[in-house]
């Protein structure tokens, strides 16, 4: 029973309850940072770190939080972890920190994190909340990485800054501009919902 619950908690956000393509949360950063693979990796690691630890921490103190100030408390805990990410990036990865600009700070407003805190961490034990936060983070991460992979490849002909496509390739500049993100995300959701999720529904 307990093991099944952990398994479900972990697998749900990766598949049918994915925060990005099923719940359509965290779209701002999905659109903004995915024009280069390297930045996306750093950004998603930041979100992964924050969802996991904030979920864990909030669950740890959930019985102490007075319900009328619970959102304040949650935001404070989330913000603290985001600032830690920001400070550490600024010190050790200054180039990427500069390119990500305000988006690191904006992790605080990522609805996935607040959503998991409200919906899960407040009513579940710390261990399970940690798993839920981790899984939500991974669910967010892999969707963004797929989108970033295609955007950088088509938009700049490279991956992680290394040129992949030769001189014959004409860069699709629109892919690294904001509209490219909308196209890629829409195509991604279309394929997932049309092919993968539909098969699951038919099986039921």
Partner 1 sequence: MNGSLIFKERIYPVLFMLVLTLIFIGIVSAIYLSTREVVLLNESLFLKKALLYAADFPVPEGSTEAEEAFQTHFREVGDGRSGEGYFEILQGQGSQVVGYAFLTSGAGLWGEIEAVLAFEKDLKTLRGIEFTKQNETPGLGARITEQWFKEQFRRKKGPFVFVPEGEAAGSNEVDAITGATRTSEAVKAIVNRAVNEAGEFVGGGN
Inter-residue long-range contacts of 67-70, CB under 8 Å, 24+ positions, other chains counted: 70/122
The residue written with tokens 């700070």 in the block is: 105
Q: Applying CB under 8 A, does 88 fall inside the site for partner 1?
A: yes
Cβ burial, residue 105 (10 Å; 0-12/13-18/19+)? middle
From 77-85, 104-112, 130-138, 163-171, give the range in contact with partner 1 by CB under 8 A.
Answer: 77-85
Report yes or no: 116 and 51 within 8 Å, Cβ to Cβ: yes
From 12-20, 39-47, 74-82, 161-169, give the range in contact with partner 1 by CB under 8 A.
Answer: 74-82
Question: Residue 129 corresponds to which tokens in the numbers above?
Answer: 């909340």
Q: Applying CB under 8 A, does 106 fall inside the site for partner 1?
A: no
Nearer Cβ to partner 1, position 28 or 87?
87
Binder of partner 1 out of 11, 28, 61, 186 (CB under 8 A): 61
Nearer Cβ to partner 1, position 77 or 131?
77
Q: Applying CB under 8 A, does 101 fall inside the site for partner 1?
A: yes
Binder of partner 1 out of 8, 123, 163, 173 (CB under 8 A): 173
Q: Applying CB under 8 A, does 66 fall inside the site for partner 1?
A: yes
Number of residues that bind partner 1 (CB under 8 A): 24
> What is the DSSP code string of 31-62?
HHSTTSHHHHHHHHHHHHHHHHHHHHHHHHTT
DSSP label of 125:
-
Nearer Cβ to partner 1, position 127 or 179?
179
Q: Per DSSP, which regions of the chain are E strands?
A: 158-159, 162-163
Distance CA 139, CA 141 (A): 6
Contacts with partner 1 by CB under 8 A lie at: 35, 61, 64-66, 68-69, 72-73, 76-77, 80, 83-84, 87-88, 90-92, 94, 101, 173, 176-177
């Amino acid at each position: 029973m307990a093991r099944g619950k952990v398994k479900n908690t972990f697998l749900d956000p990766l598949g049918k309850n994915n925060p990005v393509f099923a719940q359509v949360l965290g779209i701002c950063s999905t659109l903004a940072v995915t024009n280069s693979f390297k930045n996306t990796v750093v950004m998603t690691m930041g979100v992964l770190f924050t969802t996991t630890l904030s979920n864990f921490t909030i669950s740890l103190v959930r019985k102490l939080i007075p319900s009328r100030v619970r959102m304040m408390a949650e935001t404070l805990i989330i913000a603290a972890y985001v600032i830690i990410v920001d400070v550490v990036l600024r010190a050790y990865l200054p180039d990427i920190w500069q390119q990500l600009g305000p988006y690191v700070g904006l992790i605080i407003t990522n609805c996935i994190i607040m959503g998991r805190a409200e919906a899960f961490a407040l009513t579940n034990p710390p261990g399970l909340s940690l798993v839920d936060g981790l899984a939500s983070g991974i669910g967010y991460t892999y969707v963004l990485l797929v989108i970033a992979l295609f955007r950088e490849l088509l938009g700049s002909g490279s991956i992680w800054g290394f040129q992949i496509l030769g001189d014959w390739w004409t860069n699709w500049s629109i892919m690294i501009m904001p509209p490219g993100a909308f196209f890629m995300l829409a195509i991604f959701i279309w394929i997932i919902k049309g092919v993968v999720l539909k098969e699951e529904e038919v099986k039921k």
